[in-house]
Chain A
Amino acid sequence: MKIRFPIILKIALLGLLVTSLGSGVALTISTLNQNKRSEETLIENIDKSLYSVDYMFEEGDNSQDLLAGLKNVKDYIKTVYSNPDIKEKTLKDFSSFEEYEKYFQERDSWVFPPPGAMIASPAYLEFRKNFKEISHILLEAHLSSGARAAYLCYEEDDGDKKRLIFMGDSRITYTEREEGSFYHLPGSHYDLKPQDIIIDEKNELYQGYKINSYLTRFIELTETLEDGTEAPVASLFLEYDRKEIQKRSMDILFSELIILGSVMVVVIMLYMLIAYFTITKNLKKLTVATDSISHELKQANNITPKKLEFRSHDEIASLASSFEVMEEEIVNYVNIIKKEAKENERREAELEVASNIQLSALPASSYLDENVELKAFIKPAKVVGGDFYDYFYHDDKFFLIIADVSGKGVPAALFMMKAKQLLKAKITSESSFRKAIAEVNNELALNNESSLFVTSFIARIDFEKEEICYINAGHEKPYILHNGEVIKVDGTANFVLGGMEDIEFEEETIKFEKGDTLLLFTDGLNESINSKQEEFSYERVENTFKEGKDLSLEEKIHLFQQRLQEFVQNEEQFDDITIVTLKREDSTLSLRYRNKDYQIIEDCVNKFQEAFPNLEEEKKSKVGIALDELLNNIISYDESEQLEIDITFTKLQDDMKVTISHNGQDFNPFNQDNEVKVLQGNEDLESLNPGGYGVFLVQTLSKSQAYTYIKDHATITLIF
């Protein structure tokens, strides 16, 4: 067999399936959790993305540069703000831009945001330089943290007011508050811890955790003072888009899954490799060994058990050793079977010969003569059966035997042959019917060590007396079909043949008239069972026989086979089935006349009436009249040298067919314009023509008439 789905592939597929399922479940749970633990997870995720930013601000030159730059910027801004002269001035306070520029140039300072044009004030330039550095760092922080924006901010205490200064990538802005109030700017609530500050879409400030579109993260920047303590300098604001973070965290999850999957694939491949060397390879070894044994079983005569070498000590090695033991057993067994097969072949051939001998010992299944028609059917359950039938004439009587030997197979068949020969031999040699059967019984019972016996129905049919004299030796009771009615042949049941010596057999007599049919069968028929363990039964045999009352013998047997098949369906036949039908012929009477003499009419009518004694009187008379008229005509008009008349009477189901064939004139009596005058009673008696009524009567009394003329022979066919 070709292996289409190796085990390791199956296991690997299973592994993959489990992994994918696991990943799927993990993903689902994770997604669900993501939504549930939104805030915590978001913050965690943000923290994860801040490693680089933390590093940027906590270590290295970046931090130093930032702090130095910030100090300068702070100083500059402070200078500007502490100058009361310029502090409150804004662009709207000047009538023109030139005036605005002039005002600040004179004071060598700029309020911010700077008014667009780059004015080269030395303080401002210094400030720009520092701010640029800060911007640069902020941009870097912004990009590396994945935030949508980054700001640096610090608070200045300006006496009665506090001012929060924001530095972005490109500009600086500020907001102020009174002592004890809040800033009203997008950004932070200064009094809160940075990580607690959340700003919603409407730029309102809230305290605590709340889901919003933006989430702001603070990093506090500190400076080490001379006394060694850390002092806050500024805070870094990182503003995140909540949706963006969620998306990113999913991406992270996916990438984790991909990594997990890849690991699984590698593990599975490793596993397959190991499985191949520990399981598959060894199994293959076993397969090869098994195949080679199978091959040898098919081809060679000498089979040698194979030795399998296994280094491992696992289940497969154990299987292999069992296999070796089994192999040896098989080899031994096969050798025995081979011997027995040869023996069986010989035996079967012998059985076939025996079966042929047995079947050829039975007479033909079909027989017909002027007295009887016979059709038989036998179906052995095994090759050689125990049923048989026989028929022969002896002393002008027709003997019909049906028998069933107890047991099956060869012993039954041998006993059957013996019984069959004995029956015929004794019946034909012994003058007394009863005595003949008694002798058969004694011979069969003598030295009958295997205690076999025969049930048999032996019928002696006397055609003249129209009766059957029979002996029923323990056999199924037959049926007779008489005028459409089924009669059971219910005479004395004697003991079986061969069962016990010196028994008397009673003979019985039953009417068997012309047209009657006898049905004989063995118990294989009525005891055939269907799947419900029901028997075909006498009742069904009787009903089937009655159902086929109008059928020919052959059709009757077919009907039995059909009804039996419908009944048993697929159940196995366990006994021989034999059916024999015999019909007493009454159907035809053939008469030949070669003399031209009116006396043949009387002879013909007499013989017809004798041949069909059961025919209704009216029909008999009609046929008689027709014969008189037609034969009279034929003889009267004949001009041949030698008149030949052949008459056949055939009894049909309800009708009588009469065929008259002759070599006389080609004259169709029924094709004439027979103007027969049906007398009315008012005719002149003298003028009446006394002839012409013959053919008219034939036409009137018969049901149908036909005439043919072929090869110098005229044939008249009449149905009555």
Chain B
Amino acid sequence: MEIRIKHEDAFIIEFVGRLDTVTSLELQKALDQEEVKENLVIFDMKETEYISSAGLRLLLSLKKNLTKQGKALEIHNVNDICKEVFKVTGFVNVLTIK
């Protein structure tokens, strides 16, 4: 697992590996240490192998927090299996997936 955070025009989170019970805790820890100044947060899943329900929870809470702050969350580069997970759970309707 690897987490890369970049501050460009947007706040970019690149997650490498499986977004599961253990790794989402670690991701949460990493995000807690960051301060989001940008108005847009991009969660890049280009190198994310798959996402489990723990990952979904994380994304949902992230979306909630950002919405409260009036900021946007975009999910980028979703692979087939992740797309399927988002679809069957209806997360496609809540999250902005590009």
Which A residues have a C-beta under 8 Å from some C-beta of B? 598-599, 601-602, 605, 617-618, 621-622, 624-625, 628-629, 632, 676-683, 685-686, 688, 690-694, 696-697, 700-701
Q: List A contacts of B84 (CB < 8 A).
A: 701
- Whether the Cβ atoms of B60 and A622 lie closer than 8 Å is no
Which B residues have a C-beta under 8 Å from some C-beta of A? 18, 20-22, 49-54, 56-57, 60-61, 63-64, 67, 80-81, 84-85, 88-91, 93-94
Q: List B contacts of A628 (CB < 8 A).
A: 18, 20-21, 52, 54
Tell me the bound Cα distance from A682 to B57 in angstroms. 18
Q: List B contacts of A601 (CB < 8 A).
A: 20-22
- Whether the Cβ atoms of A690 and B60 lie closer than 8 Å is yes
- Whether the Cβ atoms of A697 and B88 lie closer than 8 Å is yes
Q: List A contacts of B64 (CB < 8 A).
A: 685-686, 688
Contact A696-B60, Cβ < 8 Å, known A632-B54, A679-B94, A685-B67: no
Measured CB to CB, the closest approach of chain A to B66, in angstroms, equals: 10
Residue of A617, A676, A685, A690 with highest tally of chain B CB at under 10 A: A690
Not counting A628-B20, A628-B52, a sample of 4 additional A-B residue pairs whose C-beta atoms are within 8 angstroms of each other reads A601-B20, A624-B20, A677-B90, A678-B89
- Whether the Cβ atoms of A618 and B20 lie closer than 8 Å is no
Contact A629-B57, Cβ < 8 Å, known A598-B22, A681-B90, A681-B93: no
Tell me the bound Cα distance from A599 to B18 in angstroms. 13
Q: List B contacts of A676 (CB < 8 A).
A: 89
Q: List B contacts of A701 (CB < 8 A).
A: 84-85, 88
Tell me the bound Cα distance from A229 to B94 in angstroms. 168
> Can you identify 28 A-B contacts, CB atoms within 8 angstroms?
A599-B22, A601-B21, A602-B18, A602-B20, A602-B22, A622-B81, A624-B49, A625-B50, A625-B52, A625-B85, A628-B18, A628-B52, A678-B88, A678-B90, A679-B93, A680-B93, A686-B64, A690-B57, A690-B60, A690-B61, A693-B89, A694-B52, A694-B54, A696-B88, A697-B52, A697-B85, A701-B84, A701-B85
Tell me the bound Cα distance from A599 to B21 in angstroms. 10
Tell me the bound Cα distance from A694 to B75 in angstroms. 21
Q: List B contacts of A690 (CB < 8 A).
A: 56-57, 60-61
Q: List B contacts of A678 (CB < 8 A).
A: 88-90
Tell me the bound Cα distance from A678 to B93 in angstroms. 9
Measured CB to CB, the closest approach of chain A to B29, in angstroms, equals: 14
The residue on B at minimum CB distance from A631 is B21
Q: List B contacts of A599 (CB < 8 A).
A: 22
Measured CB to CB, the closest approach of chain B to A269, in angstroms, equals: 110
Tell me the bound Cα distance from A677 to B67 in angstroms. 21
Tell me the bound Cα distance from A198 to B53 in angstroms. 140
Tell me the bound Cα distance from A601 to B52 in angstroms. 12
Tell me the bound Cα distance from A605 to B1 in angstroms. 13
The residue on B at minimum CB distance from A609 is B49
- Whether the Cβ atoms of A618 and B81 lie closer than 8 Å is yes
Tell me the bound Cα distance from A692 to B84 in angstroms. 17
Measured CB to CB, the closest approach of chain A to B72, in angstroms, equals: 13
- Whether the Cβ atoms of A679 and B90 lie closer than 8 Å is yes
Tell me the bound Cα distance from A599 to B60 in angstroms. 24
Q: List A contacts of B57 (CB < 8 A).
A: 690-691, 693
Tell me the bound Cα distance from A621 to B22 in angstroms. 16
Q: List A contacts of B93 (CB < 8 A).
A: 679-682
- Whether the Cβ atoms of A681 and B18 lie closer than 8 Å is no
- Whether the Cβ atoms of B88 and A700 lie closer than 8 Å is yes
The residue on B at minimum CB distance from A635 is B21
Measured CB to CB, the closest approach of chain B to A671, in angstroms, equals: 19
Measured CB to CB, the closest approach of chain A to B70, in angstroms, equals: 13
Q: List A contacts of B91 (CB < 8 A).
A: 679
Tell me the bound Cα distance from A25 to B81 in angstroms. 107
The residue on A at minimum CB distance from B94 is A679
Residue of A625, A688, A697 with highest tally of chain B CB at under 10 A: A625
The residue on A at minimum CB distance from B49 is A621
The residue on A at minimum CB distance from B58 is A690
Q: List A contacts of B90 (CB < 8 A).
A: 677-681
**Which of B18, B54, B61, B63 touches A624 (beta carbons < 8 Å)?**
B18
Tell me the bound Cα distance from A618 to B51 in angstroms. 12
Tell me the bound Cα distance from A681 to B93 in angstroms. 4
Q: List B contacts of A700 (CB < 8 A).
A: 88
Measured CB to CB, the closest approach of chain B to A437, in angstroms, equals: 46
Q: List B contacts of A691 (CB < 8 A).
A: 53, 57
- Whether the Cβ atoms of A679 and B89 lie closer than 8 Å is yes
Q: List A contacts of B81 (CB < 8 A).
A: 617-618, 621-622, 625
